[in-house]
Amino acid sequence: MLTKKKNFLLIFAILAFVVWAFPGNAYASELSEIEEANEILRTPENYSEYLKNYSVEDALKAGVDPEYTENASEDALEQLNEFQLLDYNQQIEFLDSMKQPFESSEEIITEVPSVQQYQVRAASNSRTVSYTSTLSSLGINWTTYKVTGTYTYNSTGALKAGSTNGIVVKNLNPLVITAKTSSYGSVANKKYSGVATFSYKIGPVKGLSVQIGTYNLKVTGGKSGLISGSAWKN
């Protein structure tokens, strides 16, 4: 019994020493990834190479929903073609924009789904509405978020919220680590509202501190389908 106790104490001591002696391993790994991302955005050539080799693993690491990772390489090559159409100065401007994506995006592009995208099931009287927000610069989209919600309805309006979900559809900015943190739906005054919140971390970038915050998408719907959508940063 004493021997077992001594062995346990020895193992505990070894583990404690490892934690004490190598506390920076995780930090060093994270720092290495940040340095790599900064290097990718340092020159147009580096970013082009990044897009050429963009893989499913890169997409998952960037926070892209597994449903959309199969198209990750195609999306990257499409963006590469658009990027190479820019002249050198525009390419540098684009790369600089990606270092402060939520501040420098020319606009937040929103896509309103067509009526065919509403899944109307007469038997259950339910609808699905979605709202997409894309960060863009110089006409090139680099990160896309989407919120989707379902609800039941009748002739007077929305009745009860169903499922609400938020996903990252695309992320071709190596400096941004993003993921959904929460989503919820509710009905008030015969109107459904669905909100998805995403966390993001950027950098640090040379000359700038680490940027940490949340990005939010909201979609609303009624008896006829989509009413509105919006996106904002906290």
- What does the pLDDT read at residue 53? 95
Could you give the CA distance from residue 76 to residue 97 in angstroms, rounded to a whole number? 18
Peptide bond into 23 cis (omega under 30): no
**Considering just the CA atoms, what is the radius of gyration of the chain in Å?**
23
What would the pLDDT profile of 122-150 be if each residue is shown by its tens digit? 445 899 999 999 988 888 988 999 999 99
Domain positions in the chain: 21-233
Nearest CA-CA partner of 46 in 55, 36, 31, 58? 36
What would the pLDDT profile of 79-116 be if each residue is shown by its tens digit? 999 999 999 999 999 999 888 777 655 444 444 443 33
The dihedrals phi and psi of 113, each to the nearest 5 degrees, come to -65, 145
Determine the average pLDDT of the residues in 156-172. Answer: 95
- What does the pLDDT read at residue 76? 95
